[in-house]
Structure 1
């Protein structure tokens, strides 16, 4: 299951702390607009930038031996990414793609690093982020071990519901197709199709070509807590 990185770290919220650097122009940066499907960086590409997402979602993925795509992480509002590629003399091992229209700040890592090492409050926030990232990776192993496709998919859709606006009826349109959802939960497309069909029978969602609508978010959330109960 590819985790959506949401940087809300309880009482130490990374997002506002780092967003302040860019909003106040404390380091030189460039604001970029990506269209859905646009590549931010390619596998085996050298670059010295990292990125802070103002809004949108970026998918970090690789192509495995049989030619299929494997999604690793989905970064959304308030997330910092690109630091994974900055090991000395190493090229990127992933591809980063916008899966929704995305606005982000691009900054040279050397300039960001120089700034945060001189301002401890920002260094503390970045350190918290790195530990959070490691904890999230460990949680993914637990999710794959303990939860079936339906439970993982329900949890994913609940997270995605926070990224898209609700209409007057409280419904949420998720503009992501079955193949993308399958990559995100680490399951085959047929398993995801069957789980979505069951959710539709329960009147929790309605399926459309290339998208779905969450019609009962509260009931969807209950699907993620049944094992705990």
Structure 2
């Protein structure tokens, strides 16, 4: 078993970059890149690379014959398309920047070499799997909920993951949060999502402004969660 703090201490993004910089060919195999809001890249197109997010937010979707399905969000410190397998898998995954984002593009073979030499206990891979499994558990939880519950659940997940306390009881959500993104994450229609969020706004639970969405009363929002006591992340 692994202690989560120990796992985080060794495998965090800052330490990973430090490990890679021990190698003289670091600059040859990495590149700082900026992604504009809405810019996308697929696992198939970028199979030679993985991306360490330094700043900003991404959504990961599965795009196939059945449609376009939201899977998870990734933020600073996460690695997009981590080279966990030797073969190319999950080619239908697409990463899209939800804001201007800054990443370190890493050649997958270089990262594999560094991990093999510097991380024999696979702490970095385990941390990646922990992050991804939490996101997938959250996605599975949505299946059991009604449409309204899914919207509330997503709001609470956004608070727990990205929320920033600005006042005693107010929590600011990231700039990418709007009707469209909440509807997509909750797998609901935009019109129904607007209806639910409008009700929450009238109850002074949330406030939607052009710049940011604010949660005005977290306790009331959690009470709207219809007793979903069992959290998956």
Unaligned runs of at least 5 residues, structure 1: 1-8
- Contact between 1:16 and 1:78, CA under 8 Å: does it hold in 2? no
Give, in angstroms, the shift of residue 121 of structure 1.
6.1
Give, in angstroms, the shift of residue 184 of structure 1.
0.8
| RMSD over aligned Cα atoms | 3.3
Asked if 1:11 corresponds to 2:8, the answer is no
Q: Which residue does 1:188 correspond to in 2?
A: 189
Aligned-partner Cα distance in 2 for 1:85–1:45: 17
Q: Which residue does 1:3 correspond to in 2?
A: none
- Contact between 1:116 and 1:122, CA under 8 Å: does it hold in 2? no
Q: How does 1:108-119 map to 2 (within 5 A)?
A: 108-119=107-118
- Contact between 1:60 and 1:96, CA under 8 Å: does it hold in 2? yes
Question: TM-score of the superposition, structure 1-length normalised?
Answer: 0.76
Other structure's SS at 1:11 match: helix
Residues matched between the structures, number = 218
Q: Name the structure, 1 or 2, with higher relative contact order (CA <8 Å, separation 6+).
A: 1
Q: Deviation string for 1:119-176 (max 9, x for gaps)?
A: 236722313422552464244223312x223333223223323435443463415432
Q: Which residue does 1:55 correspond to in 2?
A: 55
Task: Say if 1:54 and 1:222 are closer, same or farther in 2 by CA, change over 3 A.
Answer: farther
Q: How does 1:52-91 map to 2 (within 5 A)?
A: 52-63=52-63, 65=65, 69-83=68-82, 88=87
Q: Deviation string for 1:166-189 (max 9, x for gaps)?
A: 434634154322122111112222
Give, in angstroms, the shift of residue 46 of structure 1.
4.6
Question: TM-score of the superposition, structure 2-length normalised?
Answer: 0.75
Aligned-partner Cα distance in 2 for 1:21–1:32: 18
Moved over 6 A (4+): none
Q: Which residue does 2:129 correspond to in 1?
A: 130
